[in-house]
Structure 1
């Protein structure tokens, strides 16, 4: 157990990510929550955007609310929509208050627009004052967003991808930890690209400035495997050799969502396309990924790429983005 920034919460350093709830039944969700309780995991993260995740978790948590800190999040950016989402979350989760409500996936270009009188942050402040939420956080796949959030003092937690091949948030996580901002790691297994879950978790938990990692888990066995790492997460020489190998294997064809490739002259949201392909191929969320892909504007989809190469010239990892976008089209459109 450790203190979660300055929130006053004390949490297990392995938490629970609610994305996979979408692909299992209510009965299986109950079993996962049972195992979380047995293993002492007390931090649960979900989102309005994870279809039935909030509802299933709400049903599973009845009668044991006090044993868990519950976090959820919303993509809403305006005042009225965020107010509405908070109420929906409370109803779905069947609780009187939410421990942590986060602004979900805030992009660098929109960060400065969320604080106005008619914008979402005001709704969060009012909900906090009313006791409907206890703390306010932010999540993003853009490093600039969380850097600004830490400096602003407006958010009590930040959530960002971090794993063996995505460690660009090292410095901002360190700064957040120093300032008492809680640090949450999403995508600890790089969206399933890393096969060795134990090593992936050890890599993250060996960083003292990271408060909690939230792997998605859809079976009791996965809960036991991930929490077992807490007994010893010191990296060995053999571990470091494996880590170097994983970085080498994934480093040439793995999108880290740094967003240096943007803006695309045609409007393609390149990292989002790769993210949705990952949900399709690694998370087993085929229908969900296709629906989200279709929800993108036509100009934002991979099929709108004209192969101008502007993105590849800006990618710090020299990824073959054009070919990768073709693969997105083959996966999500065909």
Structure 2
């Protein structure tokens, strides 16, 4: 497995990492076998999150068997205040039963108000810096789905990595990654197979790794077979063949414009619907096969898709011209 330095962190990570979201749907025994296969295949970067239910716990238990020393562990939390982030760090360390976390990221920053809070005197960054000084975490990162917010975050020197969606149909992060690399940050590609939308994930991974924009891509994996297949793409840098380019372009065309990039331009909805999250939670059900997880997240929303009054304001703002009204209607059917 090829490796790269994750920005200026000093961590030499495998170019294909392990995304921890779908591991929720397997057993602990299966999860341990998957993590062991990651070690055997040279994958040394694991990414998870507080929000991924049992993912941190499964990974921590697997590390007792496979060996903590074989991996860089990254996790993240959506706490934006000092108190919330401090508690999240404690919970992550407890869930994984480890002494330190290599990379702790502020998860899914989607509003400028959230970023302002994070950077304030009582914000999440203060808790992360304190944890770093105590050796509880080694490095600090930030993740999100909106370029403008994360580009603004690049001005903060405490952030050492950036995580953002990137794949052949989601290239809106190109400028963000370029700026991050210029600043010496590590770049992490989430959603590298578009949330499972690509039927041949290896082509998407090859595209990403050939872009020279990404340090590590983190496809979610829930089987040993997926680890074997995905890790093979990181063994050597191979250019896409003409045949593969044609096939990849066909997949991109099939996905078309009917694909939410979670840019957030559709917001705010006059009725208060968090439109991108509706589609994210629907994707957990229809793509990740995380039916209960997706339904639980959707049901926790204070205002759901069936509150849509078809005013059309979201569609007028969408830079991708998505049929949002029809997609919300489809989501209502999905969650019935």
Q: Shorter-chain-normalised TM-score: which range?
A: over 0.9
Bigger mean CA deviation after superposition, 196-205 or 74-83: 74-83
Find the residue that maps to 1:114 and give its secondary structure: helix
1:225 paired residue among 226, 229, 235: 229
Report if the CA contact (8 A) 1:97-1:132 is conserved. Answer: yes
Bigger mean CA deviation after superposition, 15-24 or 148-157: 148-157
Q: Paired residue for 2:10?
A: 8
Q: Paired residue for 2:153?
A: 149
Report if the CA contact (8 A) 1:79-1:118 is conserved. Answer: yes
Report if the CA contact (8 A) 1:102-1:136 is conserved. Answer: yes
Does residue 258 of structure 1 match 2:263? yes
Report if the CA contact (8 A) 2:57-2:96 is conserved. Answer: yes
Does residue 200 of structure 1 match 2:208? no
Q: Paired residue for 1:246?
A: 251
Q: Paired residue for 1:114?
A: 118
Q: Paired residue for 2:305?
A: 302
Q: Find the aligned partners of 1:222 and 1:247 in 2 and give their Cα distance.
A: 21
CA positional deviation for 1:94 = 1.3
Structure 2 unmatched runs, 5+? none
CA positional deviation for 1:142 = 1.3
Q: Find the aligned partners of 1:144 and 1:154 in 2 and give their Cα distance.
A: 18
Q: Find the aligned partners of 1:241 and 1:204 in 2 and give their Cα distance.
A: 16
Find the residue that maps to 2:258 and give its secondary structure: coil
Report if the CA contact (8 A) 1:164-1:246 is conserved. Answer: no
Find the residue that maps to 2:271 and give its secondary structure: coil
CA positional deviation for 1:246 = 1.9
CA positional deviation for 1:198 = 0.9
Structure 1 unmatched runs, 5+? none
Q: Find the aligned partners of 1:125 and 1:14 in 2 and give their Cα distance.
A: 28
1:53 paired residue among 52, 55, 59: 55
CA positional deviation for 1:125 = 0.8
1:293 paired residue among 298, 301, 324: 298
Report if the CA contact (8 A) 2:210-2:237 is conserved. Answer: no
Q: Find the aligned partners of 2:278 and 2:89 in 1 and give their Cα distance.
A: 28
Find the residue that maps to 1:138 and give its secondary structure: strand
Q: Paired residue for 1:69?
A: 72
Report if the CA contact (8 A) 2:117-2:124 is conserved. Answer: no
TM value normalised by structure 1 = 0.97
1:97 paired residue among 94, 100, 110: 100
Does residue 125 of structure 1 match 2:125? no
Q: Find the aligned partners of 1:236 and 1:169 in 2 and give their Cα distance.
A: 24
Q: Find the aligned partners of 1:213 and 1:160 in 2 and give their Cα distance.
A: 10
Bigger mean CA deviation after superposition, 126-135 or 311-320: 311-320
Q: Find the aligned partners of 1:173 and 1:233 in 2 and give their Cα distance.
A: 22
Report if the CA contact (8 A) 1:203-1:233 is conserved. Answer: no
TM value normalised by structure 2 = 0.96
Report if the CA contact (8 A) 1:251-1:317 is conserved. Answer: no
Q: Find the aligned partners of 2:63 and 2:208 in 1 and give their Cα distance.
A: 28
Does residue 39 of structure 1 match 2:41? yes
Report if the CA contact (8 A) 2:209-2:237 is conserved. Answer: no
Count of aligned pairs between the two proteins = 331
Report if the CA contact (8 A) 2:281-2:298 is conserved. Answer: yes
CA positional deviation for 1:232 = 4.0
